[in-house]
Structure 1
Amino acid sequence: MQRQTHEAVVPEALAGERLDRALAALFPDYSRSRLQQWIRAGRVAVGGAARRPRDPVRAGEAVTLEAEPATETPLLPEPIPLRIVHEDDALLVVDKPAGLVVHPGAGNPGGTLVNGLLHYDPALAALPRAGIVHRLDKDTSGLLVVARTYAAHAHLVAELQERRVGRTYQAVVVGRPTAGGRVEAPIARHPRERKRMAVVSGGRPAATRYRVAERFAAHTLLDVALETGRTHQIRVHMAHVGLPLLGDPVYGRRPVFPKGASEALREALGGFRRQALHARRLSLRHPDGGAEAAWEAPAPEDLAALLEALRGG
């Protein structure tokens, strides 16, 4: 199978990162494990020289990758209904419902957002990950941006790396913080439970800001903004500071019923079986011209009903 040569320049945002991690950010259509294999096989050059996976990279260094595409089952278009918030020649903005997986993978070979996007716009098959440059967990709802051209894809990846894409979430947490705050704590794979992430010394830097939007008897609605984009970041960080997301099956806790809660509230709290997290606002510099653009998505029905029940007590 013919090899493909890719070239990139290390941006300031990746300076000091391990080579394998930097490559995973620069070439998101390849898994980190495959990139590590190619580094060891001598298919990666940094400044014209071979490096080890753990070697740090410097801003401005030229990276060349010789990739050999694996033989994989092609992704098939599927007529999955999509909520398109915005559309132009360069990008799509999609309001993803909770329960929809973003990328096909083990246990989810089809029925994903990618399959739906390929049905909506077959030209996306030519782009890495069908143009998707950031993710939402399966049970998190809200806004995702999708590149429609190679130029837009490169622009959005660079903007994410330079932390110039604004992502604000609504989150219902268990607890009543006295004020907002900022969580800065490194995140990595849990040392024992490999399907979980955790705050781990030596993990990847991660920062999350939050402010109180509305208080309830035993819960709080927060506006949460990402400074970085680590896997499960908001869920891990909020649990880390003692404010786990309501309904989170991995990082949360059993339902907390405030004293004197009505039967309707008890049913709403006990019946909410996903993390109460919604990506409500997305802002970025548009790939064509650099103008600031922003979009918002209202809370989906299940989250809106939960908030109504919390307000009613």
Structure 2
Amino acid sequence: MTAATPDDDADLVLHAEVPESGDGKRLDAVCAQLFADYSRSRLQAWIEAGRLQVDGEVVTRCRHPVTVGARLRLLAEEIEEAFTLEPQDLPIDVVHADRDLAVIDKPAGLTVHPGAGQRDGTLQNALLHHFPQTAAVPRAGIVHRLDKDTSGLMVVALNLKAHARLVADLQAREIRREYEALVQGELISGATIDLPIGRHPRDRLRMAVVEHGGRDAVTHYRIGERFAQFTRLDVRLETGRTHQIRVHLAQLRHPIVGDPLYGGPLRGSGLEPELREALRAMRRQALHARALALVHPRSGAEASWERPAPEDMQMLYALLRRFAPHGA
């Protein structure tokens, strides 16, 4: 069975392939199996509203029989949370703010959006407090996401017009996002990774490089600094799939140091005890969104911001320079 996979960062366009067990069954029953996050009645309403395609054709009959291998594309709608999202006076690092947008330097450990497992204490709660006008903007103006344990720069729209413009620019790949990552192993040179990403076929918490049904994903990287058995990379996203950098670098067998989901056991032989202990103590992926560049939605002028990696990553760099200089 091909599981439902997100179309983009919004996770609202889902894809799935009809398995053998669904051959000949009615469409709504198969959708209830493949898109299990939604109730059958909600799925029926979406089908009847023309929000589901079968092999590229809109089908509005819930009783429509499907065949094995048929490709489904569902345009799901945001489901309003059953709880009220409250503003919270949480500290956030505002790098820039004007009447249209704000740029935030998100710390590692801060969740961006509330979800079933966390209803408060998120960046979205903080934005509603610090920028009350974002209550009128989808997701409190958050245009793109960072994983909970990835640090760095994010842009937030402060009104609907700015939100529409920034979302369009993001989809057109006109917002430039640059990261730095500390990875295991020594890379020789920079390159581009062009491998499709979709939901892992067995583990719903993970993403993976998939041959069929994945979304296009392009990551550019170059060497930032070489160490013995480790490398700091400068990374630029062309697309923005969930966990993209983490998945792509793990696929190269150079996972990000500290990544609890894709990193695997720490590699490296003959490491000094102090360095080995610090590397093992890194409980989050050593990934930081360092730079952000965009066209301002009101003025049309180019704007850019940059923030250095936080202290936990800087400490690792210092230890690597001390104990594992390249060529030592």
- TM-score normalized by the length of structure 2: 0.78
What aligned pairs does 1:247-262 form with structure 2 within 5 A after superposition?
A: 247-259=258-270, 261-262=271-272
Instruction: Trace 1:22-41 onto structure 2 (pairs within 5 A).
Output: 28=10, 39-41=46-48
How many angstroms apart in 1 are the aligned matches of 2:83 and 2:166?
Answer: 27
Residues 68 and 206 of structure 1, relative CA distance in 2, 3 Å threshold: closer
Q: Which runs of 5+ in 1 are unaligned?
A: 1-19, 45-50, 58-64
Aligned match of 1:61:
none
SS in 1 for 2:53: coil
Question: In the alignment, which residue of structure 2 is the partner of 1:239?
Answer: 250
CA contact (8 A) 1:217 1:258 kept: no
Aligned residues of 1:167 and 1:226 also touching (Cα < 8 A): yes
Q: How many residues align structurally?
A: 277
Aligned amino acid, residue 53 of structure 2:
R
Give the match's secondary structure for 2:208: strand
Match of 1:12 in 2: none
Return closer, same or farther for 1:98/1:70 CA change in 2, 3 Å cut-off: closer
Q: Tell me which residue corresponds to 1:6.
A: none
Partner of 1:211: 222
Select the residue among 82, 85, 91 that pairs with 1:75.
85
Write out per-residue CA displacement over residues 66-93 of structure 1, whole angstroms, 9 at most, x where no aligned residue: 9796462111011110000000001000
Q: 1:129 to 1:68 in 2, by over 3 A?
A: closer
The alignment partner of 1:210 has SS state of: strand
* TM-score normalized by the length of structure 1: 0.82
Matches within 5 A, 1:169-208: 169-202=179-212, 203-208=214-219
Which residue is equivalent to 1:309? 319
The gaps in structure 2 that reach 5 residues or longer are 15-34, 59-74, 324-328
Residue number in structure 2 paired with 1:17: none
Residue of structure 2 aligned with 1:223, choices 224, 234, 242: 234
Identical counterparts, % of pairs: 52
Give the distance between the partners of 2:97 and 2:54, measured in 1 at CA: 39
Residue pairs, 1:84-95, within 5 angstroms: 84-95=94-105
> 1:133 aligns to what?
143
Deviation per residue, 1:42-70 (Å, 9 max, x gap): 165xxxxxx6266379xxxxxxx997964
Q: What secondary structure does 2:231 align onto?
A: strand
| Contact 2:6 2:198 (C-alpha < 8 Å) held by counterparts | no
Greater C-alpha Rg: 2
Q: Alpha-carbon deviations, 1:173-213, whole Å to 9, x = none?
A: 00111101000000000001111000001200000000001
2:238 and 2:302 map into 1 onto residues whose CA distance is 18
| Preserved contact between residue 167 and residue 225 of structure 1 (Cα < 8 Å) | yes
Let me know the Cα RMSD of the aligned residues: 2.5
Distance (whole Å) between structure 2 residues aligned to residue 238 and residue 312 of structure 1: 25
**Cα 1:155–1:248 shift into 2, 3 Å:** same
Return structure 1 stretches of 4+ with deviation > 3 angstroms. Answer: 28-39, 65-71
